[in-house]
Structure 1
Amino acid sequence: MIFGRRKKNQETSSAAEAPVTGQDQDGQDQDGQVEAVEETPAVSGRAATGPFDVSEKETPEGYVDLGALRIAATENLQLRLEVEERTKRVIAVTLDINGSNLQLQAFAAPRSEGLWDEIRGQIAASVGSQGGTVEERAGEFGTELIAKLPAQTPDGRPGFRVARFVGVDGPRWFLRGVFGGPAAMDPQAAEPVERLFRNVVVVRGDHPLPPRELLQLRLPKDAAGKKQQPEEPKRLGDDPLRRGPEITHIG
Protein backbone atom coordinates (compact mmCIF):
# COMPACT_ATOMS: atom_id res chain seq x y z
CA MET A 1 0.00 0.00 0.00
CA ILE A 2 1.24 3.47 -0.90
CA PHE A 3 0.44 6.53 1.17
CA GLY A 4 0.33 10.11 -0.03
CA ARG A 5 -0.94 13.46 1.13
CA ARG A 6 -2.89 16.05 -0.77
CA LYS A 7 -3.15 19.58 0.49
CA LYS A 8 -6.61 21.12 0.34
CA ASN A 9 -8.30 24.58 1.36
CA GLN A 10 -21.46 -15.47 5.90
CA GLU A 11 -21.44 -18.65 5.72
CA THR A 12 -23.52 -20.12 8.68
CA SER A 13 -22.26 -23.41 10.14
CA SER A 14 -24.72 -26.08 11.35
CA ALA A 15 -24.02 -28.48 14.20
CA ALA A 16 -24.56 -32.18 13.50
CA GLU A 17 -27.73 -33.51 15.06
CA ALA A 18 -27.23 -35.94 17.97
CA PRO A 19 -29.48 -37.43 20.67
CA VAL A 20 -29.67 -35.42 23.87
CA THR A 21 -29.75 -37.43 27.07
CA GLY A 22 -32.87 -36.82 29.10
CA GLN A 23 -34.55 -34.68 26.41
CA ASP A 24 -37.15 -35.55 23.79
CA GLN A 25 -37.38 -34.16 20.26
CA ASP A 26 -39.72 -31.35 21.32
CA GLY A 27 -37.11 -29.78 23.59
CA GLN A 28 -38.67 -31.11 26.80
CA ASP A 29 -36.92 -32.95 29.60
CA GLN A 30 -38.19 -36.44 30.39
CA ASP A 31 -40.01 -35.06 33.42
CA GLY A 32 -42.00 -32.70 31.18
CA GLN A 33 -40.10 -29.47 31.90
CA VAL A 34 -39.39 -27.27 28.86
CA GLU A 35 -35.75 -26.29 28.55
CA ALA A 36 -35.09 -22.61 27.81
CA VAL A 37 -32.82 -22.02 24.83
CA GLU A 38 -31.09 -18.68 24.52
CA GLU A 39 -30.93 -17.42 20.93
CA THR A 40 -28.49 -14.87 19.57
CA PRO A 41 -30.27 -12.15 17.58
CA ALA A 42 -29.48 -12.28 13.87
CA VAL A 43 -27.52 -9.36 12.48
CA SER A 44 -28.96 -7.89 9.29
CA GLY A 45 -28.86 -4.79 7.11
CA ARG A 46 -25.89 -2.45 7.14
CA ALA A 47 -24.52 -3.94 10.36
CA ALA A 48 -24.16 -7.28 8.55
CA THR A 49 -22.85 -6.11 5.17
CA GLY A 50 -21.02 -2.85 5.98
CA PRO A 51 -19.83 -0.20 6.18
CA PHE A 52 -19.48 -0.89 9.88
CA ASP A 53 -19.50 0.96 13.15
CA VAL A 54 -16.46 0.24 15.32
CA SER A 55 -18.79 -1.51 17.80
CA GLU A 56 -19.84 -3.99 15.09
CA LYS A 57 -16.55 -5.18 13.65
CA GLU A 58 -13.12 -5.93 15.02
CA THR A 59 -10.26 -4.37 13.10
CA PRO A 60 -7.23 -6.64 13.53
CA GLU A 61 -3.96 -6.28 11.69
CA GLY A 62 -4.53 -5.52 8.05
CA TYR A 63 -6.51 -2.33 8.64
CA VAL A 64 -5.12 1.17 8.19
CA ASP A 65 -6.08 3.36 11.15
CA LEU A 66 -6.90 6.90 10.00
CA GLY A 67 -8.66 7.98 13.18
CA ALA A 68 -12.35 8.27 12.28
CA LEU A 69 -11.97 5.74 9.46
CA ARG A 70 -10.28 2.35 9.29
CA ILE A 71 -9.52 0.99 5.82
CA ALA A 72 -8.90 -2.66 4.93
CA ALA A 73 -5.45 -2.97 3.39
CA THR A 74 -5.71 -4.32 -0.15
CA GLU A 75 -3.20 -5.24 -2.82
CA ASN A 76 -2.50 -2.43 -5.32
CA LEU A 77 -4.29 0.10 -3.10
CA GLN A 78 -2.95 3.64 -2.94
CA LEU A 79 -4.22 5.92 -0.21
CA ARG A 80 -4.15 9.73 -0.34
CA LEU A 81 -5.12 12.10 2.45
CA GLU A 82 -6.55 15.49 1.53
CA VAL A 83 -5.48 18.31 3.84
CA GLU A 84 -7.19 21.68 4.21
CA GLU A 85 -4.47 24.23 3.61
CA ARG A 86 -5.73 26.85 6.07
CA THR A 87 -6.21 24.58 9.09
CA LYS A 88 -3.84 21.73 8.09
CA ARG A 89 -6.71 19.39 8.99
CA VAL A 90 -7.18 16.10 7.12
CA ILE A 91 -10.68 16.33 5.66
CA ALA A 92 -10.93 13.39 3.24
CA VAL A 93 -9.22 10.20 2.13
CA THR A 94 -9.09 8.97 -1.47
CA LEU A 95 -8.46 5.32 -2.31
CA ASP A 96 -6.99 4.55 -5.74
CA ILE A 97 -7.14 0.99 -7.05
CA ASN A 98 -6.99 -0.51 -10.55
CA GLY A 99 -7.52 2.86 -12.24
CA SER A 100 -10.60 3.77 -10.19
CA ASN A 101 -10.87 5.94 -7.10
CA LEU A 102 -13.09 6.34 -4.05
CA GLN A 103 -13.21 9.48 -1.93
CA LEU A 104 -14.42 9.00 1.64
CA GLN A 105 -15.68 11.50 4.21
CA ALA A 106 -17.36 10.72 7.54
CA PHE A 107 -19.63 13.16 9.38
CA ALA A 108 -21.40 13.35 12.71
CA ALA A 109 -25.15 12.76 12.39
CA PRO A 110 -28.22 13.03 14.63
CA ARG A 111 -29.05 10.02 16.77
CA SER A 112 -32.67 9.81 15.55
CA GLU A 113 -32.35 10.46 11.80
CA GLY A 114 -29.94 10.20 8.89
CA LEU A 115 -28.48 12.78 6.54
CA TRP A 116 -28.39 11.06 3.14
CA ASP A 117 -31.89 12.04 1.97
CA GLU A 118 -31.15 15.71 2.53
CA ILE A 119 -27.61 15.61 1.18
CA ARG A 120 -28.71 13.97 -2.10
CA GLY A 121 -30.85 17.00 -2.84
CA GLN A 122 -27.96 19.34 -2.18
CA ILE A 123 -25.64 17.36 -4.47
CA ALA A 124 -28.25 17.45 -7.25
CA ALA A 125 -28.65 21.21 -6.87
CA SER A 126 -24.89 21.76 -6.97
CA VAL A 127 -24.41 19.63 -10.09
CA GLY A 128 -27.36 21.33 -11.80
CA SER A 129 -25.91 24.78 -11.10
CA GLN A 130 -22.78 23.71 -13.02
CA GLY A 131 -24.77 22.64 -16.07
CA GLY A 132 -24.73 18.95 -15.19
CA THR A 133 -27.35 16.29 -14.73
CA VAL A 134 -28.08 13.83 -11.91
CA GLU A 135 -29.77 10.44 -12.11
CA GLU A 136 -31.12 8.87 -8.92
CA ARG A 137 -31.16 5.08 -8.86
CA ALA A 138 -31.31 2.07 -6.54
CA GLY A 139 -27.83 0.61 -6.11
CA GLU A 140 -25.68 -1.62 -3.94
CA PHE A 141 -25.88 0.79 -1.01
CA GLY A 142 -29.46 2.01 -1.36
CA THR A 143 -30.33 5.15 -3.26
CA GLU A 144 -27.37 6.47 -5.25
CA LEU A 145 -26.68 9.40 -7.54
CA ILE A 146 -24.96 9.31 -10.94
CA ALA A 147 -23.74 12.81 -11.70
CA LYS A 148 -22.56 14.02 -15.11
CA LEU A 149 -20.89 17.39 -15.64
CA PRO A 150 -19.98 18.89 -19.00
CA ALA A 151 -16.25 18.78 -19.70
CA GLN A 152 -13.76 18.96 -22.52
CA THR A 153 -11.60 15.99 -23.38
CA PRO A 154 -7.82 16.38 -23.82
CA ASP A 155 -8.28 16.51 -27.60
CA GLY A 156 -10.81 19.33 -27.31
CA ARG A 157 -13.95 17.31 -27.95
CA PRO A 158 -17.08 17.84 -25.82
CA GLY A 159 -17.73 15.25 -23.16
CA PHE A 160 -18.78 14.85 -19.57
CA ARG A 161 -17.29 13.75 -16.27
CA VAL A 162 -19.06 11.05 -14.28
CA ALA A 163 -19.16 10.36 -10.55
CA ARG A 164 -21.25 7.97 -8.50
CA PHE A 165 -22.31 9.29 -5.09
CA VAL A 166 -23.27 6.83 -2.35
CA GLY A 167 -24.22 7.53 1.26
CA VAL A 168 -24.71 5.34 4.31
CA ASP A 169 -26.30 6.42 7.59
CA GLY A 170 -24.86 4.68 10.64
CA PRO A 171 -25.29 5.09 14.41
CA ARG A 172 -24.65 8.83 14.89
CA TRP A 173 -22.51 9.04 11.75
CA PHE A 174 -22.89 9.43 8.00
CA LEU A 175 -20.38 8.10 5.47
CA ARG A 176 -20.21 9.54 1.97
CA GLY A 177 -18.38 7.86 -0.89
CA VAL A 178 -17.68 9.21 -4.39
CA PHE A 179 -16.73 6.61 -7.00
CA GLY A 180 -14.66 7.89 -9.92
CA GLY A 181 -12.98 6.43 -12.99
CA PRO A 182 -14.29 3.17 -14.45
CA ALA A 183 -15.93 2.24 -11.12
CA ALA A 184 -18.43 5.08 -11.58
CA MET A 185 -20.19 3.28 -14.45
CA ASP A 186 -18.74 -0.20 -15.01
CA PRO A 187 -20.14 -2.82 -12.55
CA GLN A 188 -17.13 -5.11 -13.03
CA ALA A 189 -14.65 -2.33 -12.34
CA ALA A 190 -16.76 -1.24 -9.37
CA GLU A 191 -16.58 -4.59 -7.55
CA PRO A 192 -13.21 -4.14 -5.79
CA VAL A 193 -14.04 -0.53 -4.97
CA GLU A 194 -17.42 -1.49 -3.52
CA ARG A 195 -15.66 -4.14 -1.45
CA LEU A 196 -13.38 -1.47 -0.03
CA PHE A 197 -16.38 0.70 0.82
CA ARG A 198 -18.23 -2.18 2.53
CA ASN A 199 -15.19 -2.96 4.70
CA VAL A 200 -14.78 0.60 5.98
CA VAL A 201 -15.10 0.90 9.77
CA VAL A 202 -16.26 4.25 11.18
CA VAL A 203 -15.07 5.40 14.61
CA ARG A 204 -17.58 8.06 15.71
CA GLY A 205 -16.26 8.65 19.23
CA ASP A 206 -18.30 9.55 22.29
CA HIS A 207 -17.82 13.31 22.34
CA PRO A 208 -20.77 15.48 21.23
CA LEU A 209 -20.57 17.01 17.76
CA PRO A 210 -23.06 19.05 15.74
CA PRO A 211 -24.64 17.28 12.74
CA ARG A 212 -22.51 17.44 9.56
CA GLU A 213 -19.29 18.05 11.49
CA LEU A 214 -16.45 16.19 9.81
CA LEU A 215 -15.08 13.36 11.93
CA GLN A 216 -11.38 13.78 12.56
CA LEU A 217 -8.98 11.96 10.27
CA ARG A 218 -5.24 11.66 10.70
CA LEU A 219 -2.15 10.25 9.06
CA PRO A 220 -1.51 6.58 9.96
CA LYS A 221 0.97 6.22 12.80
CA ASP A 222 3.29 3.99 10.80
CA ALA A 223 3.45 6.56 8.02
CA ALA A 224 3.61 9.72 10.13
CA GLY A 225 7.38 9.72 10.21
CA LYS A 226 7.81 9.24 6.48
CA LYS A 227 8.44 12.22 4.28
CA GLN A 228 5.40 12.78 2.10
CA GLN A 229 5.38 14.37 -1.35
CA PRO A 230 2.62 17.02 -1.36
CA GLU A 231 0.10 16.96 -4.16
CA GLU A 232 -1.79 19.71 -5.89
CA PRO A 233 -4.09 21.59 -3.47
CA LYS A 234 -7.82 20.81 -3.84
CA ARG A 235 -10.65 22.65 -2.16
CA LEU A 236 -13.46 20.83 -0.36
CA GLY A 237 -16.05 22.35 -2.69
CA ASP A 238 -14.12 21.69 -5.90
CA ASP A 239 -15.52 19.47 -8.64
CA PRO A 240 -14.98 15.85 -7.52
CA LEU A 241 -15.49 14.69 -11.12
CA ARG A 242 -12.49 16.32 -12.72
CA ARG A 243 -10.08 13.39 -13.19
CA GLY A 244 -9.12 12.95 -16.83
CA PRO A 245 -9.86 9.21 -17.23
CA GLU A 246 -13.45 9.84 -16.18
CA ILE A 247 -14.22 12.02 -19.23
CA THR A 248 -16.51 10.34 -21.74
CA HIS A 249 -17.01 11.52 -25.32
CA ILE A 250 -20.40 12.75 -26.48
CA GLY A 251 -21.36 11.40 -29.89
Structure 2
Amino acid sequence: MVFRRGQKGDSDRRDRVSEADAYGDLSEIKDEERKISLADVSRAAGPWDFNEVEDPKAGRVDLGALLVPAVEGMELRLEMADAEQVIAATVVSRQSAVQLQAFAAPRSEGIWAEVRAEIALEISKQGGTVDERDGPFGIELRAQVPVQAPDGSRGVQLVRFIGVDGPRWFLRGVVSGQGAVQPKEALDIEHVFRDTVVSRGNTPMAPRDPIPLRMPAEAQEAMQQQAVPAEEGSQYTQGDLNPFERGPEITERR
Protein backbone atom coordinates (compact mmCIF):
# COMPACT_ATOMS: atom_id res chain seq x y z
CA MET A 1 0.00 0.00 0.00
CA VAL A 2 1.41 3.37 -1.02
CA PHE A 3 0.27 6.80 0.16
CA ARG A 4 1.96 10.05 -0.80
CA ARG A 5 1.87 13.33 1.06
CA GLY A 6 4.85 15.69 1.00
CA GLN A 7 6.07 17.75 3.90
CA LYS A 8 9.52 19.22 4.33
CA GLY A 9 11.64 18.65 7.43
CA ASP A 10 14.34 20.85 8.92
CA SER A 11 16.84 20.53 6.08
CA ASP A 12 18.58 23.75 7.12
CA ARG A 13 19.95 21.95 10.17
CA ARG A 14 22.31 19.95 7.98
CA ASP A 15 24.80 22.81 7.93
CA ARG A 16 25.22 22.70 11.72
CA VAL A 17 26.92 19.33 12.01
CA SER A 18 30.41 18.30 11.00
CA GLU A 19 31.10 15.12 9.08
CA ALA A 20 32.85 13.50 12.04
CA ASP A 21 32.14 9.78 12.22
CA ALA A 22 29.63 8.90 14.94
CA TYR A 23 32.12 6.39 16.32
CA GLY A 24 34.93 8.93 16.30
CA ASP A 25 36.13 11.48 18.79
CA LEU A 26 33.45 13.91 19.96
CA SER A 27 36.10 16.64 19.86
CA GLU A 28 35.71 16.66 16.07
CA ILE A 29 32.18 18.06 16.41
CA LYS A 30 31.81 21.84 16.22
CA ASP A 31 31.63 23.64 19.55
CA GLU A 32 28.04 24.81 19.03
CA GLU A 33 26.91 21.28 18.15
CA ARG A 34 28.86 19.84 21.08
CA LYS A 35 26.90 22.07 23.46
CA ILE A 36 23.64 20.69 22.10
CA SER A 37 24.85 17.10 22.21
CA LEU A 38 26.26 17.20 25.73
CA ALA A 39 23.51 19.28 27.33
CA ASP A 40 21.30 17.72 29.94
CA VAL A 41 18.20 16.70 27.99
CA SER A 42 15.09 18.40 29.37
CA ARG A 43 12.79 17.76 26.37
CA ALA A 44 12.65 21.51 25.81
CA ALA A 45 12.86 20.69 22.08
CA GLY A 46 11.01 17.35 22.13
CA PRO A 47 9.97 14.57 21.96
CA TRP A 48 6.63 15.89 23.16
CA ASP A 49 3.85 14.78 25.41
CA PHE A 50 0.35 15.01 23.90
CA ASN A 51 -0.57 17.75 26.37
CA GLU A 52 2.43 19.90 25.46
CA VAL A 53 1.50 20.51 21.82
CA GLU A 54 -1.29 22.84 20.72
CA ASP A 55 -2.25 20.72 17.69
CA PRO A 56 -0.45 17.35 18.01
CA LYS A 57 -2.06 15.88 14.87
CA ALA A 58 -1.04 18.71 12.57
CA GLY A 59 1.55 17.45 10.07
CA ARG A 60 1.84 14.09 11.84
CA VAL A 61 0.73 10.53 11.14
CA ASP A 62 -1.65 9.41 13.88
CA LEU A 63 -0.65 5.97 15.17
CA GLY A 64 -2.52 6.26 18.45
CA ALA A 65 0.23 6.29 21.07
CA LEU A 66 2.62 7.95 18.63
CA LEU A 67 2.02 10.89 16.33
CA VAL A 68 4.92 10.80 13.92
CA PRO A 69 5.93 13.92 11.94
CA ALA A 70 5.88 13.66 8.17
CA VAL A 71 9.22 14.22 6.43
CA GLU A 72 9.42 14.74 2.68
CA GLY A 73 10.16 11.46 0.92
CA MET A 74 9.93 9.34 4.06
CA GLU A 75 8.66 5.76 4.16
CA LEU A 76 6.68 4.63 7.19
CA ARG A 77 6.68 0.93 8.09
CA LEU A 78 4.37 -0.51 10.70
CA GLU A 79 5.65 -3.67 12.32
CA MET A 80 2.90 -6.10 13.21
CA ALA A 81 2.60 -8.78 15.89
CA ASP A 82 -0.48 -10.10 14.07
CA ALA A 83 -3.05 -8.85 11.57
CA GLU A 84 -4.29 -6.19 14.01
CA GLN A 85 -1.60 -5.40 16.59
CA VAL A 86 1.01 -2.78 15.68
CA ILE A 87 4.11 -3.07 17.84
CA ALA A 88 6.49 -0.49 16.33
CA ALA A 89 6.81 2.14 13.65
CA THR A 90 9.91 2.55 11.52
CA VAL A 91 10.61 5.71 9.55
CA VAL A 92 12.99 5.38 6.60
CA SER A 93 14.48 8.53 5.13
CA ARG A 94 17.12 8.25 2.42
CA GLN A 95 19.71 5.77 3.65
CA SER A 96 18.75 5.92 7.34
CA ALA A 97 15.96 4.54 9.50
CA VAL A 98 14.65 4.90 13.04
CA GLN A 99 12.38 2.42 14.76
CA LEU A 100 10.04 4.06 17.28
CA GLN A 101 8.47 2.37 20.31
CA ALA A 102 6.76 3.95 23.32
CA PHE A 103 6.52 2.31 26.75
CA ALA A 104 4.78 3.11 30.01
CA ALA A 105 7.02 4.43 32.79
CA PRO A 106 6.65 5.24 36.49
CA ARG A 107 5.31 8.65 37.40
CA SER A 108 8.27 9.51 39.63
CA GLU A 109 11.30 8.38 37.62
CA GLY A 110 12.56 7.48 34.16
CA ILE A 111 13.65 4.05 32.94
CA TRP A 112 16.19 4.84 30.19
CA ALA A 113 19.22 4.19 32.39
CA GLU A 114 17.96 0.70 33.30
CA VAL A 115 16.91 -0.03 29.72
CA ARG A 116 20.37 0.95 28.43
CA ALA A 117 22.03 -1.49 30.83
CA GLU A 118 19.72 -4.31 29.74
CA ILE A 119 20.25 -3.64 26.04
CA ALA A 120 24.03 -3.55 26.51
CA LEU A 121 23.98 -6.85 28.42
CA GLU A 122 21.84 -8.56 25.78
CA ILE A 123 24.04 -7.40 22.89
CA SER A 124 27.16 -8.51 24.76
CA LYS A 125 25.63 -11.96 25.22
CA GLN A 126 25.13 -12.10 21.45
CA GLY A 127 28.82 -11.40 20.92
CA GLY A 128 28.42 -7.74 20.00
CA THR A 129 29.99 -4.60 21.42
CA VAL A 130 28.35 -1.54 22.96
CA ASP A 131 29.62 1.93 23.88
CA GLU A 132 27.81 4.66 25.79
CA ARG A 133 28.20 8.06 24.15
CA ASP A 134 26.75 11.53 24.51
CA GLY A 135 24.41 12.35 21.64
CA PRO A 136 21.71 14.84 20.64
CA PHE A 137 19.27 13.29 23.14
CA GLY A 138 21.69 12.71 26.00
CA ILE A 139 23.37 9.37 26.67
CA GLU A 140 22.87 6.82 23.88
CA LEU A 141 24.23 3.41 22.98
CA ARG A 142 26.26 2.78 19.85
CA ALA A 143 26.42 -0.89 19.15
CA GLN A 144 27.88 -3.42 16.74
CA VAL A 145 25.37 -6.25 16.62
CA PRO A 146 26.13 -9.67 15.09
CA VAL A 147 23.74 -10.46 12.22
CA GLN A 148 23.35 -13.20 9.64
CA ALA A 149 22.97 -12.20 6.00
CA PRO A 150 20.43 -13.89 3.69
CA ASP A 151 23.26 -15.92 2.13
CA GLY A 152 24.20 -17.33 5.54
CA SER A 153 27.32 -15.25 6.05
CA ARG A 154 27.94 -13.54 9.37
CA GLY A 155 28.55 -9.86 9.88
CA VAL A 156 27.80 -6.92 12.16
CA GLN A 157 25.21 -4.17 11.98
CA LEU A 158 25.95 -0.73 13.41
CA VAL A 159 23.01 0.73 15.33
CA ARG A 160 22.30 3.55 17.77
CA PHE A 161 19.86 3.22 20.64
CA ILE A 162 18.41 6.57 21.68
CA GLY A 163 15.88 7.13 24.44
CA VAL A 164 14.01 9.91 26.21
CA ASP A 165 11.98 9.73 29.40
CA GLY A 166 8.72 11.67 29.42
CA PRO A 167 5.79 12.06 31.85
CA ARG A 168 4.78 8.44 32.54
CA TRP A 169 6.26 7.29 29.22
CA PHE A 170 9.55 6.37 27.63
CA LEU A 171 10.31 6.71 23.91
CA ARG A 172 12.99 4.50 22.39
CA GLY A 173 14.53 4.85 18.96
CA VAL A 174 16.76 2.37 17.15
CA VAL A 175 18.75 4.13 14.42
CA SER A 176 20.20 2.07 11.59
CA GLY A 177 21.73 2.68 8.17
CA GLN A 178 23.93 5.69 7.47
CA GLY A 179 22.36 7.56 10.40
CA ALA A 180 24.07 5.12 12.75
CA VAL A 181 27.55 6.12 11.59
CA GLN A 182 27.36 9.59 10.05
CA PRO A 183 25.83 12.46 12.10
CA LYS A 184 25.00 14.47 8.98
CA GLU A 185 22.99 11.58 7.55
CA ALA A 186 20.99 11.20 10.76
CA LEU A 187 19.49 14.70 10.84
CA ASP A 188 16.17 13.87 9.17
CA ILE A 189 15.39 10.86 11.33
CA GLU A 190 16.60 12.65 14.47
CA HIS A 191 14.12 15.39 13.58
CA VAL A 192 11.40 12.71 13.33
CA PHE A 193 12.31 11.36 16.77
CA ARG A 194 12.54 14.83 18.31
CA ASP A 195 9.20 16.03 16.91
CA THR A 196 7.26 12.83 17.70
CA VAL A 197 4.34 13.26 20.10
CA VAL A 198 3.60 10.52 22.65
CA SER A 199 -0.01 10.00 23.74
CA ARG A 200 0.22 7.97 26.94
CA GLY A 201 -3.47 8.13 27.83
CA ASN A 202 -4.86 7.54 31.31
CA THR A 203 -5.19 3.76 31.20
CA PRO A 204 -3.30 2.10 34.09
CA MET A 205 -0.24 0.31 32.72
CA ALA A 206 2.69 -1.48 34.31
CA PRO A 207 6.09 0.16 33.76
CA ARG A 208 7.69 -0.98 30.47
CA ASP A 209 4.41 -2.14 28.98
CA PRO A 210 4.29 -1.09 25.30
CA ILE A 211 1.78 1.71 24.75
CA PRO A 212 -0.60 0.38 22.07
CA LEU A 213 -0.23 1.66 18.51
CA ARG A 214 -2.78 1.54 15.72
CA MET A 215 -2.76 1.79 11.96
CA PRO A 216 -3.49 5.18 10.42
CA ALA A 217 -6.96 5.50 8.94
CA GLU A 218 -5.63 5.44 5.37
CA ALA A 219 -3.92 2.10 5.93
CA GLN A 220 -7.02 0.58 7.52
CA GLU A 221 -9.17 1.64 4.57
CA ALA A 222 -6.67 0.27 2.04
CA MET A 223 -6.46 -3.05 3.90
CA GLN A 224 -10.24 -3.41 3.89
CA GLN A 225 -10.32 -2.73 0.16
CA GLN A 226 -7.57 -5.23 -0.61
CA ALA A 227 -8.57 -7.96 1.88
CA VAL A 228 -5.86 -10.31 0.55
CA PRO A 229 -5.09 -13.38 2.73
CA ALA A 230 -1.53 -13.41 4.07
CA GLU A 231 -0.72 -16.75 2.42
CA GLU A 232 -1.62 -15.26 -0.98
CA GLY A 233 0.90 -12.46 -0.72
CA SER A 234 -0.45 -9.59 1.32
CA GLN A 235 1.72 -6.85 2.81
CA TYR A 236 2.32 -9.00 5.90
CA THR A 237 5.44 -11.10 5.89
CA GLN A 238 6.83 -13.43 8.50
CA GLY A 239 9.73 -12.45 10.72
CA ASP A 240 11.01 -12.24 14.28
CA LEU A 241 9.86 -9.30 16.38
CA ASN A 242 13.44 -8.22 16.88
CA PRO A 243 14.81 -4.65 16.85
CA PHE A 244 17.54 -5.79 14.45
CA GLU A 245 15.31 -7.72 12.08
CA ARG A 246 12.31 -6.37 10.23
CA GLY A 247 9.05 -7.90 11.43
CA PRO A 248 5.71 -8.18 9.63
CA GLU A 249 4.97 -4.74 8.33
CA ILE A 250 2.96 -2.49 6.09
CA THR A 251 4.52 0.39 4.25
CA GLU A 252 3.30 3.95 3.71
CA ARG A 253 5.20 6.50 1.62
CA ARG A 254 4.97 10.25 2.08
TM-score, normalised with respect to structure 1: 0.73
Match for 2:217: what amino acid? K
- Aligned residue for 1:107? 103
Match for 1:235: what amino acid? D
Aligned Cα root-mean-square deviation (Å): 2.3
User: For 1:35-54, what aligned pairs fall within 5 Å after superposition?
Assistant: 46-54=42-50
5+ residue gaps, structure 1: 4-43, 244-251
- Aligned residue for 2:119? 123
8 Å CA contact retained: 2:59, 2:69: yes
Distance 1:91 1:242, change over 3 A: closer
- Aligned residue for 1:137? 133
Match for 1:150: what amino acid? P
Q: Does residue 66 in structure 1 map to residue 63 in structure 2?
A: yes
- Aligned residue for 2:237? 232
Match for 2:137: what amino acid? F
Q: Number of matched residues?
A: 200
8 Å CA contact retained: 1:151, 1:160: yes
Match for 1:63: what amino acid? R
Cα distance between partner residues in 2 of 1:184 and 1:67: 27
User: For 1:59-208, what aligned pairs fall within 5 Å after superposition?
Assistant: 59-85=56-82, 88-151=84-147, 159-208=155-204
Cα distance between partner residues in 2 of 1:146 and 1:222: 35
Q: Describe the SS at the equivalent of 2:222.
A: coil
Q: Describe the SS at the equivalent of 2:132.
A: strand
8 Å CA contact retained: 1:84, 1:235: no
Q: Deviations over 1:124-180 (max 9, x none)?
A: 111011110001111110110011023466788764211100010000000000000
8 Å CA contact retained: 1:165, 1:177: yes
8 Å CA contact retained: 1:161, 1:242: no
Report the alpha carbon displacement of residue 222 of structure 1 after superposing the two structures with TM: 2.6
Match for 2:113: what amino acid? D
Q: Describe the SS at the equivalent of 2:117.
A: helix
Distance 1:163 1:2, change over 3 A: farther
Judging by fraction of residues, say which structure has more helix. 2
Cα distance between partner residues in 1 of 2:57 and 2:148: 45
Match for 2:146: what amino acid? P
Q: Percent same amino acid among aligned pairs? A: 49
- Aligned residue for 2:230? none
Q: Describe the SS at the equivalent of 1:183.
A: helix
5+ residue gaps, structure 2: 4-39, 227-233, 247-254
